[in-house]
Chains A and B, each alone.
Chain A
């Protein structure tokens, strides 16, 4: 099973709201990622979790707060977003090699389409 699931599929929120995006995988992958994708553009990396610890933050504004409660789940907490944050948010996961090196291909979820009003 090479499935990454994301909820919700669509989310509309005001600039003062607090909401969360959820991602789940059951492939035993220990690396998980959040990406932001604008229309007809490639995904832009936001965060990387490795063994449930935040490994990389690509200088993302603090209004985005990631969380990895366990090896299968990844959340993205949203607060005080701006209209320009409207985008497709993708979650992905990948395996670690035996040496702990992040490996190979990433498997993507279907994304959450976020609209900030």
Chain B
């Protein structure tokens, strides 16, 4: 069975500062995808960033970047220049590739509040 652990239930950061959200995972597969999803209060869940396990280079999307450590099974999200609109629940998720793998395994989430 695969698991995803987010050890920080809640975090806060001041506007314009940098914050890092932690995620560790466990899977017996060698090929898989990792994702960070953002769900603002009462709003739609959107994909923030994705990482293919076979790629050593860390994914980056504008102010969002990841630190992917495959050996340590760690996948943290760094948000630079935090904005008020970044306030949301952030979910780390894992999906194995291949076969009939359909399931996204989510962590419990980290509630991030950006303060003005």
Interface residues of A (CB under 8 A from B): 31, 33, 40-43, 45, 48, 50, 55-56, 90, 101-111
Contact B111 A55 (CB under 8 A): no
13 inter-chain pairs at a CB distance below 8 angstroms, sorted by A residue, are: A40-B109, A41-B108, A42-B107, A42-B108, A42-B109, A50-B102, A56-B102, A101-B97, A102-B100, A104-B95, A105-B33, A105-B50, A109-B44
The reply on B116 being an interface residue by CB < 8 A is: no
Give the interface SS of chain B, mostly helix, strand, loop or mixed: loop
Quick one: which of B33, B43, B99, B100 has the most chain A CB within 10 A? B100
- B43 & A101 in contact (Cβ 8 Å cutoff): no
Q: Nearest B residue to A113 by beta-carbon distance?
A: B42
Closest A residue to B33 by beta carbon equals A104
Question: Is the Cβ of A105 less than 8 Å from the Cβ of B47?
Answer: yes
Q: Which residues of B contact A43 (CB under 8 A)?
A: 45, 104, 106
Known interface pairs A90-B45, A105-B47; 13 further A-B residue pairs with C-beta atoms within 8 A, sorted by A's residue number: A31-B102, A40-B89, A42-B107, A42-B108, A45-B104, A48-B102, A55-B102, A104-B33, A104-B95, A105-B33, A106-B104, A108-B45, A110-B43
User: Which one, B44, B95, B101, B109, contacts A111 given CB within 8 A?
Assistant: B44
Complex Cα distance, B44 from A42, in Å, reads 13
- The 8 Å CB contact of B101, one of A45, A101, A107, is A101
| Residues of A close to B95: CB separation below 8 A | 104
Assembly CA distance A64 to B33 (angstroms): 30
Using CB atoms and an 8 Å cutoff, list the residues of chain B in contact with chain A: 33, 35, 37, 43-47, 50, 89, 91, 95, 97-104, 106-109, 111
A50-B101 Cα distance, complex, nearest whole Å = 12
In the bound complex, how far is the Cα of B109 from the Cα of A43, in angstroms? 10
Q: Which residue of B lies closest to A108 (CB)?
A: B45
Q: Which residue of A lies closest to B45 (CB)?
A: A108
**Which of B35, B47, B95, B104 has its CB near the most chain A CB atoms (within 10 A)?**
B104
Give min CB distance, B62 to chain A, whole Å: 16
**B residues near A90, Cβ cutoff 8 Å:** 45
Contact A102 B101 (CB under 8 A): yes
